[in-house]
Structure 1
Amino acid sequence: MSHEISRILAATLNDLGLEHARAPSGNRDKSFMGGYGTKGVDVYLSDERHGLLLTSGVKGLVFDPRKNLKNRYRDMVMEALELHRRFPYAICGHLFFLGKAESALSSKKFGTVLGEAAVLMSGIAQRRLPTDAPELYEEIGILLFDPGDPDSLDLAPAGIPESLQAATYPHRLVDAFNRRNPFY
């Protein structure tokens, strides 16, 4: 599922002007040497001269997010850290999806799982300068859907700030890339 979303995201980035953005072919991630070892990415833009210029992870939790949300959050932090340690000027984003039905489950501190995800994701988003903390992402987008129900797709979940909505994520990612690489 995330490989199909990766292909759609890469095509959208191409349409928005990043014509060299790619999703790996087949069902394997593209690997780059990170700060501490190799790291697989879902969508990327790179060249021989500069290395990795842009990447987007495409992962989430469809089932049992209450149990695994904090683990996914920690994985995301380490992914950004790995990539920014080796490529401090790279634009790193993440498209994070949750099961729509599961996102409405209760969370002790945040009301719902979606509320908890929004708080966690906002804490690691909005890296503006290459000198900012390497464990942060330049952009994050949250979307909801229920597997097997294409009509359930929600790119702008209620209660999620626009700065975290999947509906604006590709545009924000391209804008961040263009600000950081005005001559590319």
Structure 2
Amino acid sequence: MAGGLGSKKVDITWSTEESGLLMAISVKTINFKDGKTRNYQKNLTNRRGDLLMEAVTLHRRFPYSVLAAFFFLDAGAENDGTPKRRSTFLNAHARLKLFTDRSDPAGREEQFERFYLILLEASPNSVSVRPFKVGDPDNEVSLSQMLDEILELVAERNPDFYEFDDGRLIKL
């Protein structure tokens, strides 16, 4: 995807010829404990930097686009804290909160319209996900709530072309 600071690969995009980029979802993960520290925080700062560069690059060129981030952490990140350090899960909420809930197309380019932390527990026999809005580590949201919020913002930013009604994005 061409952006304001060069091109950027984004995991999920939706664009039209008449509107340009309507929505983009970036997916990042931290799945393994660091061998030395035995926690999941080693690449948290790097992932944050990657996400912020994506947001700036895309918002600079497409200020009305709705950008979301899905940041998957291994479920163990919720309980890897020590007496001296909070868990990776709680630290991620604190370090990413500033970069979410961009409500105005003229707002800060480095902010995402929506940012979610998703605890993932995967084994050969089952998969479990527990999503949370960044900044709210106590309240899980459903996957359908996440998508509804994103699509509702797309309709809000493009009222001449779309409406969001009862969980459905409707082209006008």
TM-score bucket (shorter structure): 0.7 to 0.9
Contact (CA 8 Å) 1:60, 1:97: kept in 2 or not?
yes
Task: Summarize the alignment of residues 85-100 of structure 1 with structure 2, pairs less than 5 Å apart.
Answer: 85-100=60-75
Q: Distance in 2 between matches of 1:110 and 1:89?
A: 38
One-letter identity of the residue aligned with 2:157: R
Contact (CA 8 Å) 1:107, 1:113: kept in 2 or not?
no
Which deviates the most, 126-135 or 42-51? 42-51
**Cα 1:133–1:62 shift into 2, 3 Å:** same
Q: Deviations over 1:73-95 (max 9, x none)?
A: 11111110010011111111111
Is 1:53–2:6 an aligned residue pair? no
Is 1:129–2:129 an aligned residue pair? no
Q: Distance in 2 between matches of 1:145 and 1:129?
A: 31
Residue 51 of structure 1 deviates from its aligned partner by 1.3
1:73 paired residue number: 48
Q: Which secondary structure does the structure 2 equivalent of 1:136 belong to?
A: coil
**Cα 1:35–1:76 shift into 2, 3 Å:** same
Task: Summarize the alignment of residues 133-144 of structure 1 with structure 2, pairs less than 5 Å apart.
Answer: 133-144=108-119
Match of 1:177 among 154, 159, 162: 154
Using structure 1 for the length normalisation, give the TM-score: 0.73
Is 1:154–2:130 an aligned residue pair? yes
Give the length in aligned residue pairs. 151
Residue 121 of structure 1 deviates from its aligned partner by 2.3
Contact (CA 8 Å) 1:84, 1:90: kept in 2 or not?
yes
Match of 1:106 among 65, 77, 81: 81
- Percent identity of paired positions between Structure 1 and Structure 2: 29
1:8 paired residue number: none
Q: Distance in 1 between matches of 2:142 and 2:92?
A: 13
Q: Distance in 2 between matches of 1:112 and 1:126?
A: 23
Contact (CA 8 Å) 2:21, 2:65: kept in 1 or not?
yes
1:5 paired residue number: none
Give the number of the structure whose residues are more often helix, by fraction: 1
Q: Distance in 1 between matches of 2:32 and 2:112?
A: 24
One-letter identity of the residue aligned with 2:104: L
Using structure 2 for the length normalisation, give the TM-score: 0.78
Match of 1:119 among 87, 91, 94: 94
Residue 62 of structure 1 deviates from its aligned partner by 1.0
**Structure 1 stretches lacking a partner, 5+ long:** 1-31
